[in-house]
């Protein structure tokens, strides 16, 4: 399979494993890259830039294929030295960066100095145009379906992808709501050059998270996610467990008067980490996108990618036959 994204990144399949806090470690990133996709380490899962350098070295021991590093730039109580993580990645020889959250503009000189390619995650056409303007090599277009932060516009990928494709000249990666070969083929039809998946990769053999999380994703349906922080204009999609329901309840009671302090103890990141690491499914909130509803098993990354590509090809062949039938 050959698209502008496989060419840009030097990978076999146009399938990227997006950055995921507590999940994007060397085991998963290496497995995805070895399977022909692009694995991505999540910088802020590592406590310091030095730890990120070690994780990059560990990943390189497991794969000789390209992989990337995600740097998420979000407002935070404790200041985070994003530039030091960026330099650590560059000094370790990484040449593909995924940025998310705020604009990566301030970090671009660090990436440009060594010719690294930057993929910025955007939830809107206007942010995508900005990313193109500041020199990003591609954008990952994050639809309403996505886990974590979809922005406040609520535009699903059926609309956002063709709108972005019409507006941009750089390659586009569809992110949010992709979980199988149908989603891959549909994204390419809608104007994307590749897909980004997070939730689907959590339910793989190599994902370094507790089995309970993977099994819960297999059981999930499309009603099992929930949005929090809408009134704070910082909407985020989580798996619908008891803690997320409690936080939502508080949000609804407080309405426009909600303060982050009202729910901070519930949604604390360290509590969420316990879900991933200890498998205590009600320890805290954890992110999952709507693609959870498409997950039916826990394959290896290689099995998953080979199957998705085969499925996309099968559907394309059978649907092309219907669509191209000029007789009727």
Residue 209, sorted as left (phi over 0), alpha (psi -120 to 50) or beta, turns out to be beta
Alpha helices in 124-279, H assignment, sequence order: 125-133, 157-167, 181-189, 199-202, 211-219, 242-254, 260-267, 269-278
Among 81, 134, 159, 250, binds its own copies (CB under 8 A): 159
Query: Which tokens in the block code for residue 290?
Result: 């709507």
Closest CB 54 distance from its own copies, rounded Å: 33
Nearer residue to its own copies within complex by CB, 37 or 104: 37
Among 35, 40, 197, 290, binds its own copies (CB under 8 A): 290
Closest CB 311 distance from its own copies, rounded Å: 11
Binding to its own copies in span 82-111, by CB under 8 A = none
If we measure between CA atoms, which residue out of 136, 294, 155, 139 comes closest to residue 235?
155
Using alpha carbons only, what angle is made at residue 221 by residues 20 and 304, rounded to the nearest 5 degrees? 55
Q: How far is C-alpha 134 from the chain's CA centre?
A: 21
If we measure between CA atoms, which residue out of 297, 278, 291, 179 comes closest to residue 237?
291
Nearer residue to its own copies within complex by CB, 62 or 226: 226
Residues 161-190, one symbol each (x = binds its own copies by CB under 8 A, - = not), give -xx------------xxx-x-xx-xx-xxx
How far apart (Å, rounded) are the C-alpha atoms in residues 322 and 315? 11
Stretch touching its own copies by CB under 8 A, among 138-146, 240-248, 269-277, 299-307: 138-146
Among 2, 78, 133, 233, binds its own copies (CB under 8 A): 2
Alpha helices in the chain, H assignment, sequence order: 4-9, 26-34, 49-62, 82-91, 108-113, 125-133, 157-167, 181-189, 199-202, 211-219, 242-254, 260-267, 269-278, 301-324
Using alpha carbons only, what angle is made at residue 23 by residues 26 and 73, rounded to the nearest 5 degrees? 100
Among 153, 245, 280, 297, binds its own copies (CB under 8 A): 153
Q: b or e along 67-97 (b: 16 or more beta carbons within 10 Å of the residue's beta carbon)?
A: bbbbbbbeeeeeebebeebbbbbbebebbbb
325 binds its own copies (CB under 8 A): yes
Among 75, 77, 256, 261, binds its own copies (CB under 8 A): 256
Binding to its own copies in span 3-22, by CB under 8 A = 3, 6, 12
143 binds its own copies (CB under 8 A): yes
How far apart (Å, rounded) are the C-alpha atoms in residues 169 and 173? 13
Q: For tokens 């406590």, name the residue.
A: 47
218 binds its own copies (CB under 8 A): no
Nearer residue to its own copies within complex by CB, 144 or 201: 144
138 binds its own copies (CB under 8 A): no
Instruction: Kindly determine how many residues on this chain lie close enough to bind its own copies according to the rule CB under 8 A.
Output: 54
Among 33, 99, 140, 157, binds its own copies (CB under 8 A): 157
Closest CB 6 distance from its own copies, rounded Å: 6
DSSP state at residue 195: E
Nearer residue to its own copies within complex by CB, 24 or 194: 194
Closest CB 75 distance from its own copies, rounded Å: 23
Nearer residue to its own copies within complex by CB, 108 or 291: 291
How far apart (Å, rounded) are the C-alpha atoms in residues 99 and 85? 12
Contacts with its own copies, residue ranges (CB under 8 A): 1-3, 6, 12, 125, 143-145, 153-160, 162-163, 176-178, 180, 182-183, 185-186, 188-191, 221-223, 252, 255-256, 290-291, 293-294, 312-313, 315-317, 319-320, 322-325, 327-328
């Amino acid at each position: 399979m050959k698209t502008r994204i496989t060419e840009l990144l030097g990978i076999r399949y146009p399938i990227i494993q997006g950055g995921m806090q507590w999940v994007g470690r060397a085991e998963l990133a290496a497995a995805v890259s070895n399977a022909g996709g692009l694995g991505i380490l999540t910088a802020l899962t590592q406590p310091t830039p030095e730890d990120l350098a070690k994780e990059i070295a560990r990943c390189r021991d497991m794969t000789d294929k390209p992989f990337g590093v995600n740097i998420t730039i979000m407002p935070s109580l404790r200041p985070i030295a994003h530039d030091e993580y960026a330099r650590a990645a560059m000094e370790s020889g990484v040449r593909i960066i995924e940025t998310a959250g705020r604009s990566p503009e301030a970090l671009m000189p660090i990436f440009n100095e060594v010719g690294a390619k930057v993929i910025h995650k955007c939830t809107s056409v206007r942010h995508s145009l900005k990313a193109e303007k500041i020199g990003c090599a591609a954008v990952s277009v994050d639809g309403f379906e996505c886990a974590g932060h979809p922005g406040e516009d609520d535009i699903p990928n059926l609309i956002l992808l063709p709108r972005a494709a019409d507006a941009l000249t750089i390659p586009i990666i569809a992110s949010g709501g992709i979980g199988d070969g149908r989603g891959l083929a549909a994204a390419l039809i809608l104007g994307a050059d590749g897909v980004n998946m997070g939730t689907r990769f959590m339910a793989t053999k190599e994902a370094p998270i507790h089995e309970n999380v993977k099994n819960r994703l297999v059981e999930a349906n499309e009603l099992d996610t929930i949005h929090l922080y809408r009134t704070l204009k910082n909407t985020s999609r989580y798996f619908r467990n008891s803690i997320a329901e409690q936080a939502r309840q508080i949000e609804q009671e407080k309405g426009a008067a909600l303060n982050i302090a009202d729910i901070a103890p519930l949604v604390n990141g360290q509590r969420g980490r316990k879900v991933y690491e200890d498998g205590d499914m009600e320890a805290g909130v954890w992110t999952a996108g709507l693609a959870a509803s498409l997950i039916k098993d826990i394959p290896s990354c290689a099995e998953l990618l080979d199957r998705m590509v085969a499925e996309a090809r099968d559907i394309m062949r059978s649907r092309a036959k219907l669509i191209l039938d000029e007789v009727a």
